[in-house]
């Protein structure tokens, strides 16, 4: 096997990579530049070249000849000619439309490299209301910048956006070399690489995009480094009030930013400062369905130089609208997975920017940057009485009956007893179920109704070992810093959400001396098995072994 090439290129644009071939590591590093990892089990990893992955590569400066060279360098068999044609044709579309400054401050010029492309774009009824034909291209209004980019992408035409970004008001912020909380501090190599990929040397087309890193790998630190490098007034948008406060804590601990320069913009407080942290919830609030979103003015009125979108894969649809309007501002998206269950990854690409940096989770695990995790799915039968109810239930009721299987209570107790010295989170979807578990374990319960001061006190007690077990609803899925958690027990979840599975595993991946364990309790012979299969797909794709066993 040592002399066998590692790559098999297939005509459907999938790429099979042999883990046991001698050049596996080199080939994997090369493929990551233009293909997305789909699966990474023990023997064969599957990548796929898509229009988005190839345009991501083009935006990073990679040409089709370089993609072809990688395929030819590592392929075991002849590369199908159709694949070469599709790669060339797809990548040739990037750069044929370029967005530049217009003749006045309120407009931009969309240029086309050839008359044929210009005719095709000009004849689109879908685009007509935004485009004004002029010699050399089309004039568009500055406020339509994102909308036009999104619509063109949907037509198969990615835009190279070279229009200048507004500078924004200046901001003095530096990363510390020693945390205020104690201990030396510096960027890890992959964090420095992520920062460099985002900043892009200040070249046209840089300063916007998405950084993909697993939970616990320090996405917040990459963002703070970007704030320091850009040196401009920054708006950070995140998922909930607890996450807002954790951003503030991180900035206070690892930067020289004074507390009076940080503002909180939430339902409880609305203070705008040089660094302002807001929630998606407050930005998408409106009095009724017919009204506009009043807090969108936070985006429009202030002279931001950088907007950071935390957990960008959760970006609410209304926020896409305002993002489309403020394309002249540098924007950084942070996420552990670009998977969106609504299929709007294209919108993230066109409005936030292309993926600038990604790294396989298992790579960081092998290097000790995140904890080694063991994933186990435990299938538990429904008691006979509940199985009868499940059998005759309406389809919409089956999920909840399976999720709230009463046999799970004993399983949770047993798992907690099996890890007597470990900090444990029990995570679920349904509040009645979680309330009973919390009562039986004598553990604190955190839900969406838990007041923020109480919620943060419980998190603090958990971090400091005052409580060993906490029970949390889906509010803990995102942007919650629980660095001491090493066991997660998932008792119920959303309908097969891969996002949720990735985020819940991420709760226990922060580096620590001990290994981590992720248990998912699933009712046997129910719809939960189907949903669980979809949820665990993400973990298997990342290379985690997912052991399944049945408990009687």
Residues 304-324 have pLDDT tens digits of 999 999 988 878 888 888 888
The domain boundary residue, chosen from 73, 92, 111:
92
Considering the domain boundaries, does residue 287 fall inside one? yes
Residues 233 and 125 in one domain: no
Predicted local confidence at residue 371, as pLDDT: 73
Averaged pLDDT, 275-295: 90
Residues 388 and 468 in one domain: yes
- What the block records as the tokens of 418 is 């099996």
Query: Helix, strand, or coil here: 517?
Result: strand
d(CA 310, CA 502): 15
Instruction: Indicate whether 156 pLDDT > 80.
Output: yes
Averaged pLDDT, 74-91: 96
CA distances (Å), origin 309, targets 92, 237, 473, 479: 30, 5, 23, 12
Residues 197 and 111 in one domain: no
Residues 373 and 326 in one domain: no
Residue 492 host element (H or E): none
Query: Helix, strand, or coil here: 321?
Result: helix
* Dihedral pair phi/psi, residue 57, rounded to 5°: -65, -45
Averaged pLDDT, 14-32: 89
Number of domains in the chain: 4
Q: Which region among 170-179, 326-335, 353-362, 393-402 has the lowest average model confidence (pLDDT)?
A: 353-362
* Dihedral pair phi/psi, residue 408, rounded to 5°: -70, -25
Banded model confidence at residue 502, pLDDT cuts 50, 70, 90: low
Averaged pLDDT, 152-166: 89
d(CA 220, CA 437): 33
Instruction: Indicate whether 177 pLDDT > 70.
Output: yes
Instruction: Indicate whether 461 pLDDT > 60.
Output: yes
Residues 147-151: contacts with CB within 8 Å, 24+ apart? 147/324, 148/110, 149/99, 149/327, 149/350, 149/351, 150/324, 150/346, 150/347, 150/350, 150/351, 151/126, 151/127
Q: Give alpha helix (H) positions in 306-419.
A: 317-325, 345-347, 361-366, 384-392, 395-403, 407-418
Predicted local confidence at residue 168, as pLDDT: 94
Q: Which region among 36-40, 500-504, 544-548 has the lowest average model confidence (pLDDT)?
A: 500-504
Considering the domain boundaries, does residue 231 fall inside one? yes
C-beta atoms surrounding 351 within 10 Å: 29
Averaged pLDDT, 489-508: 66
Instruction: Indicate whether 507 pLDDT > 70.
Output: no
Is the separation of the CB atoms in 101 and 161 below 8 Å? no
Predicted local confidence at residue 50, as pLDDT: 92
Burial of 47 (0-12, 13-18, 19+ CB in 10 A): buried
Average model confidence (pLDDT) across the chain: 87
Query: Helix, strand, or coil here: 216?
Result: coil
Instruction: Indicate whether 340 pLDDT > 70.
Output: no
Residues 494 and 457 in one domain: yes
Per cent of the chain over pLDDT 70 is: 90
> Which residues touch 89 (CB under 8 Å, ≥6 apart)?
none
Residues 209 and 317 in one domain: yes
CA distances (Å), origin 143, targets 71, 304, 330: 41, 16, 15
In angstroms, what is the C-alpha Rg of the chain?
A: 25
Predicted local confidence at residue 496, as pLDDT: 45
d(CA 453, CA 449): 12
d(CA 229, CA 231): 6
Residues 280 and 399 in one domain: no
Q: Which region among 141-150, 274-283, 456-465, 507-516 has the lowest average model confidence (pLDDT)?
A: 507-516
Burial of 388 (0-12, 13-18, 19+ CB in 10 A): exposed
CATH number for the domain harbouring residue 290: 3.40.50.300
- What the block records as the tokens of 224 is 């703070």
Residues 83 and 103 in one domain: no
Banded model confidence at residue 437, pLDDT cuts 50, 70, 90: very high
Predicted local confidence at residue 419, as pLDDT: 93
Q: Which region among 4-18, 31-45, 240-254, 375-389 has the lowest average model confidence (pLDDT)?
A: 31-45
Considering the domain boundaries, does residue 1 fall inside one? no
Instruction: Indicate whether 80 pLDDT > 60.
Output: yes
Is the separation of the CB atoms in 191 and 356 below 8 Å? no
Considering the domain boundaries, does residue 2 fall inside one? no
Query: Helix, strand, or coil here: 317?
Result: helix
Q: Which of 498, 547, 520 is nearest to 38 (CA)?
A: 498
Considering the domain boundaries, does residue 227 fall inside one? yes
Q: Which domain holds residue 49?
A: 7-92
Is the separation of the CB atoms in 152 and 121 below 8 Å? yes
* Dihedral pair phi/psi, residue 246, rounded to 5°: -70, -35
Q: Which of 181, 175, 341, 361 is nearest to 253 (CA)?
A: 181
Averaged pLDDT, 262-286: 93
Predicted local confidence at residue 89, as pLDDT: 96
Residues 88 and 101 in one domain: no
Summarize pLDDT for 195-224 with one digit per residue, the tens.
998 998 766 668 899 998 887 788 999 999
> Which residues touch 500 (CB under 8 Å, ≥6 apart)?
474, 477, 493, 494, 535
Residues 485 and 338 in one domain: no
* Dihedral pair phi/psi, residue 457, rounded to 5°: -65, -40
Q: Which of 63-72, 311-320, 500-509 has the largest mean confidence?
A: 63-72
Residues 324 and 450 in one domain: no
Considering the domain boundaries, does residue 182 fall inside one? no
Considering the domain boundaries, does residue 24 fall inside one? yes
- What the block records as the tokens of 33 is 């530049």
d(CA 434, CA 473): 7
d(CA 355, CA 384): 50
The domain boundary residue, chosen from 32, 58, 92:
92
Predicted local confidence at residue 73, as pLDDT: 96
Averaged pLDDT, 20-49: 85
Residues 279 and 414 in one domain: no
d(CA 18, CA 40): 10
d(CA 297, CA 315): 18
The domain boundary residue, chosen from 334, 359, 384:
359
Predicted local confidence at residue 241, as pLDDT: 87
């Amino acid at each position: 096997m040592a002399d066998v090439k590692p790559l098999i290129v297939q005509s459907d644009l999938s790429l099979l990579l042999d883990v046991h071939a001698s050049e596996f590591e080199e080939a994997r590093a090369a493929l990551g530049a233009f293909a997305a990892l789909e699966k990474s089990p023990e023997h064969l990893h599957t990548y796929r070249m898509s229009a988005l992955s190839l345009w991501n590569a083009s935006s990073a400066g990679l040409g089709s000849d370089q993609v072809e060279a990688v395929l030819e360098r590592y392929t075991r068999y002849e590369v199908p000619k159709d694949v070469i044609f599709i790669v060339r044709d797809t990548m040739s579309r990037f750069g044929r439309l370029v967005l530049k400054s217009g003749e006045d401050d309120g407009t931009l010029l969309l240029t086309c490299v050839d008359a044929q492309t210009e005719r095709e774009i000009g004849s689109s009824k879908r685009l007509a209301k935004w485009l004004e034909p002029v010699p050399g291209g089309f004039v568009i209004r500055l406020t339509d910048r994102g909308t036009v980019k999104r619509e063109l992408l949907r037509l198969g035409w990615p835009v190279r956006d070279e229009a200048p970004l507004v500078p924004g008001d200046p901001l003095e912020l530096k990363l510390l070399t020693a945390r205020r909380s104690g201990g030396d501090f510096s960027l890890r190599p992959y964090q420095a690489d992520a920062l460099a990929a985002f900043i892009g040397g200040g070249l046209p087309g840089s300063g916007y995009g998405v950084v993909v890193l697993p939970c616990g790998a320090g996405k917040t630190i990459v963002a703070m480094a970007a704030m320091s490098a850009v040196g401009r007034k920054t708006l950070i948008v995140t998922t909930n009030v607890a996450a807002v406060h954790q951003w503030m804590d991180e900035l206070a601990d690892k930067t020289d930013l004074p507390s009076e320069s940080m503002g909180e913009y939430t339902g409880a407080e609305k203070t705008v400062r040089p660094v302002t942290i807001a929630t998606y919830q407050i930005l998408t609030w409106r009095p009724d369905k017919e009204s506009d979103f009043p807090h969108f003015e936070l985006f429009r009125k202030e002279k931001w130089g950088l907007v950071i979108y935390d957990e960008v894969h959760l970006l609410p649809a209304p926020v896409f609208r305002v993002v489309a309007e403020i394309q002249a501002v540098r924007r950084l998206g942070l996420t552990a997975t670009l998977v969106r269950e609504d299929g709007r990854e294209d919108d993230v690409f066109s409005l936030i920017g292309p993926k600038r940096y990604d790294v396989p989770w298992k790579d960081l695990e092998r290097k000790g940057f995140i904890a080694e995790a063991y994933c186990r799915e435990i299938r538990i039968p429904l008691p006979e009485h509940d199985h009868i109810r499940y059998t005759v239930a309406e389809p919409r009721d089956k999920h909840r009956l399976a999720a709230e299987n009463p046999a799970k209570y004993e399983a949770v107790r047993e798992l907690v007893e099996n890890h007597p010295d470990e900090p444990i989170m029990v995570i679920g979807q349904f509040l009645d179920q979680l309330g009973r578990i919390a009562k039986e374990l004598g553990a604190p319960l955190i839900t969406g109704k838990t007041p923020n001061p109480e919620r943060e006190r419980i998190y603090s007690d958990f971090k400091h070992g005052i409580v060993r077990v906490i029970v949390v609803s889906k509010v803990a899925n995102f942007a919650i810093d629980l660095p001491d958690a090493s066991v997660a027990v998932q008792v119920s979840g959303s309908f097969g959400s891969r996002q949720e599975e990735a985020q819940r595993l991420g709760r226990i991946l922060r580096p620590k001396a001990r290994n981590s364990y992720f248990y998912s309790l699933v009712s046997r012979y129910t719809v939960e098995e189907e949903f669980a299969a979809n949820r665990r797909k993400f973990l298997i794709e990342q290379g985690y072994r997912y052991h399944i066993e049945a408990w009687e």
